[in-house]
Amino acid sequence: MAKQQDKYEDSQLYKIRHSAAHVMAQAVSELFPAGEAKVAIGPPIEDGFYYDFDLPRALTPDDFLAIEQRMREIIASGFEFQKRVVSADEAKQEFKDQPYKLELIEGLDKGGFDENGEPLKEKPEISFYTHDSFTDLCRGPHVANTGEIAPDAFKLMSIAGAYWRGDEHNKQLQRVYGTAWESAEQLADYLWRQEEAKKRDHRKLGKELGLFHFSEDVGPGVPLFTPKGEMLRHLMEGYVRDVQTRYGYQHVWTGHIVKEDLYKKSGHYENYSDVMFPPMVDEDVAFRLKPMNCPSHMTLYNEMGLHSYRELPMRFCEFATLYRYEKSGELSGLARVRSLTQDDCHVFCTPEQIESEFTLALNLIREVLDRYRFSDYSVRLSLRGEEGKYVNDPEKWDRAEAALRAALDKNNVEYWEAEGEAAFYGPKADFIARDVLGREWQLSTIQVDFIQPARLGCSYIGEDNKEHTPVLLHRAVTGTTERFMATIIEHFAGAFPVWLAPVQAVLIPIADRHVEFANQVAAELKAAGLRAEVDAGSDRMGAKIRYAQSQKVPYMLVMGDKETEAGAVAVRLRSGEDLGAISVADFLARTQADIAQGD
């Protein structure tokens, strides 16, 4: 069954954070003579709240202690939050010295905007919330009194500049960010996750582990992968490729440039030309760098001859490097790049096969997420809404939506339904995985498409001997190699499972006389399929071990006189655990068992 998604707006945390924003605004205002602090907006946000101020001087983090102290006093007094609905005139009178509030009241009064300046469908009532001496223009909701904010579960985090109404032509205000939780333990856990997220930042770790670089000479958004980084890509893609093959998918390859006309036919030109790089024109024919595979795969389907229903489903996969024009300001490490490699797949099937194909994709995705140790994920099922952007074929929609629901129910996948979130061409399911820090990453997707196959003239001869248009499923497992790499670097903090580690074992000879034996063992390990390296540098053993540990290499094999004589290796794990000396054969057996277990 579909789960009701709990709305953050209805939660106690939301009320606590919203209330903390008011309490902070009071505390900040009191730092200045009456009327000198101008308050703008202060909504709750994910993990906390902020408030925008226009103040006689710049706040610094040094002010935080005093502000927090005053907030605790207000909390301790247990002031009630009292709501009052008022007329626009009353509101203007109350805030006559607060120009930002006056502008917001104007917006509320005319209709169309809420007290944070966000667009609204209907004209709202105007209301105040008052606690102690502080009144804010606000719809709520709030906790009943300030005492419900735990005095040891909030913290001011940072100050940033923010233009009034997000418009750079307006005055820049001071935005103070805070976080608030229900208990001190929750706050401590949040602060730990923040710290950990900084340490795990894939841009930082990518550099430390020597996986990839960006260069101004090549241009923004095009990562350059080192031998180690490419090995990681290769392992990631090879793994998915093997799983796909096992599930009956076939791999194809369709190049990097495509005639622009194909995108005009498919409708992509119309909808996505802003993410395409400009055309390359040769003898009056315009070509584009490929921004998506769908039209190429459909063309290939058509070129392969007339299809019978007996051949369906046909499943084409491609690890295709695509090029998308992302504004340079929006590029972010590997998470957002201009050259991206999708593990893209297009399934051509009959309408009756939607449920079984969706189930197949579902199981494949679950197997892959499990291998990457994402045990906490859920599915957003995006359905057609009321609005007119959806292709008007209600019967097809109903059938497809029912097929997707049935597959999710039968496979006990936790999901929630998002009405009106579907693409214009059909319903879709997106997998949202939580990493070890509880952060959500949208990874896999399965989309049903009723439109594109008809546009590109795809067909098959049905059991009735008549021509039909196949349904197309667009499916990605890890999404793109680049973004997924960013995700797993942060998820594993760079300590990849053994099967995925670019270097699985480093051999550390203690002295020069042990190098020969190290080389010999390395050759043996490589012959057995292990990725092993010898550190024959001049550093001392301790330094070599520390370096290998910093590189998060799963196994360090130290060898001195004793080991060389015995034909053994002294094994250390990256966790610091010391397994002592074991024979090379035993070591191999152990690692192979680890890998088979998915370790």
Q: Answer yes or no whether residue 138 interacts with Zn ion by CB under 5 A.
A: yes
How many Å apart are CA 43 and CA 47, to the nearest integer? 12
Q: How many CB atoms lie within 10 A of CB 7?
A: 8
How many Å apart are CA 348 and CA 346, to the nearest integer? 6
Q: How many binding residues for Zn ion (CB under 5 A)?
A: 4
Long-range contacts for 433-442 (Cβ within 8 Å, ≥24 apart)?
A: 433/369, 433/374, 433/376, 433/377, 434/374, 434/376, 434/377, 435/374, 435/487, 435/490, 435/491, 436/491, 437/193, 437/196, 437/197, 437/200, 437/490, 438/193, 439/197, 439/490, 441/487, 442/479
Q: Least separation, in Å, of the C-beta of 306 and Zn ion? A: 23
Q: Least separation, in Å, of the C-beta of 49 and Zn ion? A: 10
* Closest residue by Cα to residue 407 from 441, 371, 446: 446
**Segment 486-505, which members bind Zn ion (CB under 5 A)?**
none
In 397-513, where do the E strands start and end? Answer: 415-419, 428-434, 440-449, 460-461, 467-468, 471-480, 505-509
Buried b (16+ CB within 10 A) or exposed e, 371-380: ebebeebbbb
Torsion of CA 556, 561, 565, 566, to 10 degrees: -40
Q: Which is closer to Zn ion, CB of 128 or CB of 212?
A: 128
How many Å apart are CA 450 and CA 66, to the nearest integer? 60
Q: How many CB atoms lie within 10 A of CB 65?
A: 10
- Start-end of H helices in 449-583: 452-455, 481-491, 515-527, 541-550, 561-566
Q: Which of 428, 468, 474, 552 touches Zn ion (CB under 5 A)? A: 474
Q: Least separation, in Å, of the C-beta of 24 and Zn ion? A: 11
**Segment 290-309, which members bind Zn ion (CB under 5 A)?**
294
Residues recognised as catalytic? 294, 324, 342, 344, 346, 428, 474
String of DSSP letters for 192-248: HHHHHHHHH-HHHHHHHTT-EE--TTT-TT--EE-HHHHHHHHHHHHHHHHHHHHTT
**Segment 334-373, which members bind Zn ion (CB under 5 A)?**
none
Q: Which is closer to Zn ion, CB of 108 or CB of 294?
A: 294
Q: Least separation, in Å, of the C-beta of 298 and Zn ion? A: 9
Q: Least separation, in Å, of the C-beta of 20 and Zn ion? A: 10
**Segment 4-43, which members bind Zn ion (CB under 5 A)?**
18
Q: Which is closer to Zn ion, CB of 200 or CB of 474?
A: 474
Interface region with Zn ion, contact rule CB under 5 A, candidates 2-10, 61-69, 135-143, 405-413: 135-143
Q: Which is closer to Zn ion, CB of 318 or CB of 417?
A: 318
Q: Least separation, in Å, of the C-beta of 328 and Zn ion? A: 26
Q: Which is closer to Zn ion, CB of 339 or CB of 519?
A: 339
Q: Answer yes or no whether residue 180 interacts with Zn ion by CB under 5 A.
A: no
How many Å apart are CA 151 and CA 64, to the nearest integer? 14
Q: Least separation, in Å, of the C-beta of 292 and Zn ion? A: 6
Q: Least separation, in Å, of the C-beta of 154 and Zn ion? A: 15
**Residues 29, 134: contact at Cβ < 8 Å?**
yes
Q: Looking at the chain, how many residues does it have?
A: 599
Contacting residues toward Zn ion, per CB under 5 A: 18, 138, 294, 474
